[in-house]
Amino acid sequence: MTKIQHRTYQEHRAAYNKIRDCIAGEDRLKGQGEIYLPRPDGMSTRQYTRYLMGTSFYAVAERTLRGMVGAVTRNEAILELPPLIEPMRDAASFEGNSLAVLVEDTLREVMSLGRYALVLDYPQEGAAPASAPFISSFNAESILDWKEQLVDGKQRLTYLRLHEDNEDLEDSGVEQHLLLTLEPAYTIR
């Protein structure tokens, strides 16, 4: 049977959920109830509900993240693109977002969760002449399995399993995964 998830995936996933809840703020945390605010012994459900509604959560995580992304993107990035991929400046992602939006989304995800996958899809031979490459993005929760190997004295990603969430495809009840086997580029000296 094929392994679907990395041995540390569940541990990472639990941390991602907590981080996303903190960034989402007070309403999300209150919605989780006893996960984040345990009920004191002897407190009735009604008392706990009032107790929970009376608590507050300062949105320091979301504000800090917004400030850090804003500080990095305050000045527009200088991107020099070859003419062949110049159209990516205005439509770089699969969703049609500009390169600037893709950079901002990537910064936000990496700064909050520390992990985000970007996969460049390049048009195959025979594609329309004006076809430009685009970048598909995968959040941390979608990175199911990975393998690293030592290549030329450095740890390199050599295998990646990504969960594809494509709303355009018919829901057959079967998860779709993108498997990437990345050939290590050995340097010949």
Each residue's pLDDT expressed in tens, for the chain with a length of 189 residues: 356 888 888 999 999 999 999 999 999 999 998 999 999 999 999 999 999 999 999 989 999 999 999 999 999 888 898 887 888 899 999 888 999 999 999 999 999 999 999 998 877 777 676 677 889 999 999 999 999 888 888 898 898 999 887 666 566 666 788 888 887 655 444
Distance, in Å, from the CA atom of 186 to the CA atom of 189, rounded to the nearest integer, reads 10
The amino acid at residue 151 is: V
Dihedral, CA of residue 113, residue 115, residue 119 and residue 120, to nearest 10: 90
**For the whole model, what pTM was predicted?**
0.80
